[in-house]
Chains A and B, each alone.
Chain A
Amino acid sequence: MLWSIFKIIIFPGFVFLAAYALLCEFIDRKVYARLQNRVGPPWYQPLADFLKLLGKETIIPADANRRMFQVIPIISLSAVAAAFIYVPVLGGSSVHSFEGDLIVVLYFLTIPTICSFLGGWYSRSVYSTIGSVRTLTQMFAYEVPLYMALLAPSLIARTWSVTGMVTFYSQHPLFTLFNIPAFFTALIAGQGKLERAPFDSPEAETEIVSGALVEYSGKLLAIFRMSMDCELVVLASLISAIYLPFLTGMIILDFVLYFAKTLAVLLVLTLMRGAMARLRVDQMVNFCWSILTPAAVAQIILDLVIRGWLAV
C-alpha cells in the first residue's frame, strides 16, 4: 500500500512527471531558441517561471464564475497526472495497468483540453471566448485521427492495455514497422492536441492575445501551464511507448532509453513548431479531416489485414 502511494506520488508518478515536464519545457525552449539563432533560457528558467507565477497576485474577473474559474486548472493538472499512472516509464511496466487502460489514458488526456475550453468560457472575456471556441473546434479535428492512430497498433497486439502493447511489440519489434504511418499521424495530431505551432490558433497571441487563458494569472496560471507541460510529457511518453517499444530488459538501461525516446519525440515536435507558420483554424480542420483522418483509417485497415493474416 505504502509502496503504491510512493509510486503514484513520487516516482514514477507525479513528482517525477512535474520535474521531467519542467526539464522538457526547458529543452523545448532551448532548442526552439537555437533554431532561431537565439541564446535561449538557462536550465532553471521553467522552474523560476513557475515559482514566480506562484508568488504573483491571482486576479479573477468580476464577471467570471469564481468557483469554476479556480477549480478548472486543478482538474486539468490532476487529470494529466492520473493519465501518467498508466503510461510505462520504467521498462515496460507502468504504476498500474489493466486491460483497456489505453482508453482511460486517452480519456484523461481529453480533460485538459476541455478544461482549457471551460476556463476560457467562464472567464467571460471576448478574447477567451473566441479562444475557447477555437480550442473546441480544433479538438473535433485532431481527436479522431489521434485516437485512431493510437488505437490501431492495439489491433495487432490484441490488447487494449498500454503495458500489454509494449510487452507484445518489444517481443516482436518488426511489427512496429507497420505502424510508421500511425506514428507520424500521432505526432502531427499530438501537436494539435498540445496547441503548438502550426496548430496554435487557439492561443494566437497576435489575434486574440492568448486565447482561452487570457484572464488567468498567478497561481491558477502556474497550475494551467504546469498541466500543459505535463500533457506534453504524457503524450510524448505514450507515443514513444506505443511506437518505439524497444526494451533491453535491464531496468537502468530501459530508464535511460525512456529519456532518449521521449526526447526524440519532443525534438520532432519542437522542429515542427519552429519550421511553420500558424494555420488558420479552418485550414487546420481541413487538414485534419482530409489528410490525417484518411491516413489513420488506412492504418487501421492495414493493421486489420495483418491481424487477420496472423490469425490464419
Chain B
Amino acid sequence: MSNNNNGNRIELPIGPQHPSLKEPAAFWITLEGERVVNAVVGVGYNHRGLEKACESRNYIQNLYLIERVCGICSHTHSTAFCQGIEELAGLSIPKRAAYIRVMVAELERLHSHLLWLGVAAHEIGFDTMFMYTWRDREKVLDILAEVCGNRVNYGINTIGGVRRDVDEAMLQDISKMADELENQIKYYLELAMTETTLSARLSGVGRLPYEDALKFGVVGPVARSAGIADDIRVTEPYAAYGEIPVNPVVDTRADVLGRTVVRIKEMLESLNILRFCIKNIPDGDISVKAPLRIPAGEVISRTEAPRGENIHFIRSNGTDKPDRVRVRAPSEANWRGVKHMLEGGYLADVPIAIAAIDPCYSCTDRAIVVDSGNGRKVMDWQGLRQYSIDWYKKHGIDVSSVKIPEKKYF
C-alpha cells in the first residue's frame, strides 16, 4: 500500500481485494482531494481457461462447462452455445423448447437485475433497499428451482432443445410470482425516481453519453441508457423471441440513474414476456435428437444476456470436440468505458460507477499477451517455475527442492 503524496495526489488501490468488489479486480485510482484524476483498470485475476478447456471435451461435456462461464447469467451462455451447435448441425428445435428457453432467460434476467439493484444500493450505502431486493429475488430463485431443479446453474438447455418440461402448476406459480413481483418492481421504480438521497447519489454519476457509448462499443443496459436501442431480442430474434412482442427499454440520461431505470423497466418488460409465454406456450416435444459429431464449420451465435449482448464463436472440425470456442461475455465489451466513467468523478462514486456496468469479472478474464514494449514477455512453463523460485528466494524461502509433476499444461 503506497502513501506517496506527490503534491496533493494520493494513489488509492481499490482491489484486488476490497469490500466493494465481489470478485477480484484492481483499480488504481489517483486522487486529488476527493476527485479522481486518473483511473487504471486491471482485470485478469480470475482467468480460468474455460475456452481452452472446451477444446479438450466433447460437446455434451462442454454444455456443462459453458453453463459455468457466469454464475448469474448461466442460461444465456448455454443458450448461445446450443444455438450455435444447432445451427452447425442443421437442427431446428421444437417450439415448446424455444418458449421454455425464453421463459428461463427472462426469469434469469429478473433475478440478475434484482441482484444488481441490491448490489448498487449497497454500494451507495442504502442497505435497506439491498435487503428488500434480495428478498424479492428469492421468489424468482424459488421459481427457477421449481422449473429447472437448480437455483443458479439451471442445466435446462441441451443440444436440440431443453431437458425438462414445464407443467400447468409451474406456469401458474410463475404467473402468481409475476403478479407479486410487479408491485415490488413498480415500488423500486418509484423509489429510484423520487427518493432524494438516491437521485443525489445516482444522477450525473459515471456519465457515458451517446457518442462515447458508440466509441467504446458498450452493450446492454449501459448502451440503452445512453439512447442506443440495441437489444438482440429485437434486432436478431433467437429462440421464440420472433413471436413474442419485446419493447426494448431506452433511456437518455446516460448516467447511473439511467442504467438503474433501464434495468428496473426491463424487469417489468420481462414480466410481460413471461405472461405472454404462459398464455401462448405451444404443446409438443421439448427436444430433438442431436448427433454427437457436429459437421465442420464456423458459427457466431448471439443472445441478449442481462448484462448485454453475448457472443459465442464456435469452430467445429467434424469430430465430437470443438476446434475453437470463443466467448465474448457482455462485461468484456463494457470494460472499455469504465476508465472514462471514473475520471473526473468523486472517489465516493467509484464503487457505484463500476457496479453500474454490472461487471462480471470471471466471465471477462482472458489471457491476452499485450506486447507494448514495456518489458512484458511470454513465459513458458519452465520460465514460470524459475520465476517463482527466484521470487521466493528473494523473500527468504527456497522452494527449488519441491518436486512438481512434469505435466504438459500448454
Binding site for B on A (CB under 8 A): 35-38, 124-127, 129-130, 197-198, 200-201, 204-209, 274-283
Which residues of chain B are near A201, meaning CB under 8 Å? 348
Residues of B within 8 A of A283 (CB): 200
A276–B18 Cα gap in the complex (Å)?
A: 23
A130–B200 CB distance below 8 A:
no
- How many A-B residue pairs have C-beta atoms within 8 angstroms? Tell me: 91
Q: In whole angstroms, how far apart are the Cα atoms of A278 and B197 in the complex? A: 7
With both chains docked as a complex, state the minimum distance between the C-beta of A273 and any C-beta of chain B, in angstroms: 9
Query: Beyond A126-B12, A197-B126, A280-B34: 8 further Cβ-contacts under 8 Å?
Result: A130-B31, A204-B348, A205-B125, A208-B347, A209-B18, A277-B124, A277-B129, A280-B346
Q: Mark B10-53, 1 if CB is under 8 A from A, else 0.
A: 11111000111000000000010010000000000000000000
Residues of B within 8 A of A198 (CB): 125, 197
Most buried by B among A129, A205, A275: A205
B124 & A37 in contact (Cβ 8 Å cutoff): no
Q: A206-B19, A207-B20, A277-B198 are in contact. Are A124 and B3 (CB under 8 A)?
A: yes
In the bound complex, residues from chain B placing their C-beta under 8 Å from that of A276 are: 126, 195, 197
Which of chain B's residues has its CB closest to A134's CB? Answer: B34
A277's contact among B20, B195, B346, B351, by CB below 8 Å, is which? Answer: B195
Q: Is the CB of A279 within 8 A of B3?
A: no
| B123-137, CB < 8 A from A | 123-129, 131-132, 135
Is B1 a contact partner of A126 (Cβ separation < 8 A)? yes
Can you name 24 A-B residue pairings with CB atoms under 8 Å?
Answer: A36-B128, A36-B131, A126-B11, A126-B12, A126-B13, A198-B197, A200-B125, A201-B348, A205-B125, A206-B123, A207-B350, A208-B12, A208-B347, A209-B18, A275-B128, A276-B126, A276-B195, A277-B126, A277-B197, A278-B124, A278-B126, A280-B34, A280-B346, A283-B200
CB closest chain-A residue, reference B11: A126
Distance from B119 Cβ to chain A, minimum over Cβ atoms (Å): 10
Contact of B2 with A274 in the complex, beta carbons under 8 Å: no
Q: Which residues of chain B come closer than 8 Å to A126, judged between CB atoms?
A: 1-3, 10-13
Binary interface encoding of chain B residues 103-139 relative to chain A, with 1 for a CB under 8 A from any of its CBs, else 0: 0000000000000000001111111110110010000
Which residues in B have some Cβ–Cβ distance to A below 8 Å?
1-3, 10-14, 18-20, 31, 34, 121-129, 131-132, 135, 195, 197-198, 200-201, 346-351
Select from chain A the residue with minimum beta-carbon distance to B3. Answer: A126
Chain A minimum-CB-distance residue to B12: A126
Q: How far is the CA of A198 from the CA of B195 in the complex (A)?
A: 13
| Complex: A201 Cα to B348 Cα, angstroms | 8
Q: What separation, in Å, do the CA atoms of A47 and B147 have in the docked complex?
A: 45
A281 to B347, CA, bound (A): 10
Q: B201: which of A35, A38, A200, A279 is its contact (CB, 8 Å)? A: A279
CA separation between A38 and B135, bound complex, in Å?
Answer: 9
- The residue that B131 contacts in the complex, of A37, A127, A206, with Cβ under 8 A, is A37
- Beta-carbon contact of B125 and A206 below 8 Å: yes
CB contact between B121 and one of A127, A277, A281 (< 8 Å): that residue: A277
| Interface pair A207/B351, CB less than 8 Å apart | yes
Expressed in whole angstroms, the Cα–Cα distance for A197 and B129 within the complex equals 13
Docked Cα-Cα span, A282 to B346, in Å, equals 9
In the assembly, what is the distance between CA of A125 and CA of B198, in Å?
Answer: 30
**Given known contacts A126-B12, A282-B346, A206 and B128 CB-to-CB distance under 8 angstroms:** no
Among A197, A206, A276: residue with most chain B CB under 10 A? A206
A-chain residues with CB within 8 Å of residue B131 when the two chains form the complex: 36-38
Is A278 within 8 A of B18, CB to CB? no
CB-defined contacts of B346 to chain A, threshold 8 Å: 280, 282
Residues of B within 8 A of A125 (CB): 1, 3
Taking the closest CB of chain A, its distance from the CB of B172, in whole angstroms, is 26
**Which B residues are CB-close (under 8 A) to A282?**
34, 346
The 5 closest A-B pairs by CB, nearest first: A278-B125, A206-B20, A277-B126, A36-B131, A277-B197
Report B-chain residues with C-beta under 8 Å of the C-beta of A280. 34, 200-201, 346, 348-349
Residues of chain B within 8 A (CB-CB) of A38 are: 131
